[in-house]
A and B are shown apart, each in its own frame.
Chain A
Amino acid sequence: MAQFGFTGRRRPPRDDLPPGQYDVGTEWPVLTAEVTPQIDPQRWTMSVDGLVEHPTTWSWDEMHALPPSVYEGPIHCVTTWSKFGTTFEGVSVDVLLDAAAPTAEASHVLATSTTGYTTNLPLEHVRGGQAWVVWSFDGKPLTHDHGGPVRLLVPHLYFWKSAKWVTRLTLLDHDQHGFWERNGYHDLGDPWREQRYQGD
Chain B
Amino acid sequence: MRAPTAGPWRSATVREVAHPHPHGVVLRLEVPDRVDHLPGQHYVLRLRAEDGYTATRSYSLASAPSDPLVELYVEELPDGEVSPYLAQAIQPGDQLEVRGPVGGWFVWDADGPALGLAGGSGVVPLVAMLRHAVDVGRPELLRLAVAARTLDRLPYAEELTAAGALVALSQEVSAQGRAAGRLLAAEVAPLLDDAATCFVCGSAPFAAGASDLLVGLGVDVGRVRVERFGASG
Contact = CB atoms under 8 A, between A and B. Distances in A.
A198 B5 contact: yes
B230 A30 contact: yes
Interface stretch (B20-28, B47-55, B145-153, B185-193): B47-55
B204 A145 contact: yes
A29 B208 CA distance: 14
14 contacts: A1-B11, A2-B50, A5-B85, A7-B49, A8-B53, A29-B204, A29-B229, A33-B106, A33-B226, A35-B226, A183-B103, A197-B6, A198-B5, A199-B5
B contacts with A: majority SS: mixed
A34 interface: yes
A143 interface: yes
B57 A36 contact: no
Interface string A20-51: 10100001111111111100000000000000
Contacts of A36: 208, 211
A60 interface: no
Nearest to A200: B6
Closest 8 pairs (CB-CB, A-B):
A183-B104, A184-B5, A197-B6, A30-B232, A9-B81, A27-B231, A35-B221, A35-B211
A39 to B, nearest CB: 12
A182 B104 CA distance: 8
A20 to B, nearest CB: 6
B5 A8 contact: no
Contact of B85 (A6, A28, A183, A197): A6
Contact of A3 (B57, B85, B215): B85
B56 interface: yes
B49 to A, nearest CB: 5
Given A3-B47, A36-B208, A183-B103, A8 B226 contact: no
A196 interface: yes
Contacts of A29: 204, 229-232
Contacts of B47: 3, 6, 8
Contacts of A115: 221
A3 B94 contact: yes
A184 B41 CA distance: 11
A5 B6 contact: no
Interface in B198-233: 204, 207-208, 211, 214-215, 221-222, 224-233
